Amino acid sequence: MKTDTTYNGWTNYETWRVNLELFNGDDEAWRHGSSDGMREFAELLIEESTDEGIGRDYALAFLQKVDWQEIAEHYQQDEEEEESILGQHAYVHNYNG
């Protein structure tokens, strides 16, 4: 039997946690972000805020399990939904004159 490894609606714990800690709440900044750009940001943040050693190695290894594409798609989807809502609002506003 296969074990469910999803976490709070995300692919895994690592993806959920990185999104929560690094990107959540800053939707505007990441709407046009690529998965590679997000990964590079996270790696740079760890490298600049930690000393070389086992702690940094574990933190960077943790990032290897993150589904970067899922995080990027999450923010792209949020943008599309917001644009749709704004478009509907503009239509209603124009229709009502």
More confident residue, 30 or 89: 30
- The domain locations on the chain are 13-96
pLDDT score at 87: 62
What are 55-72's pLDDT values in tens digits? 999 999 999 999 999 999
Half-sphere exposure of 4 (CA within 13 A, CB side): 5
What is the dihedral angle through the alpha carbons of 26, 29, 32, 37, rounded to the nearest 10 degrees?
Answer: -90
Q: Environment class of residue 18 by beta-carbon count within 10 Å: exposed (0-12), middle (13-18) or buried (19+)?
A: buried
| Entry pTM | 0.74
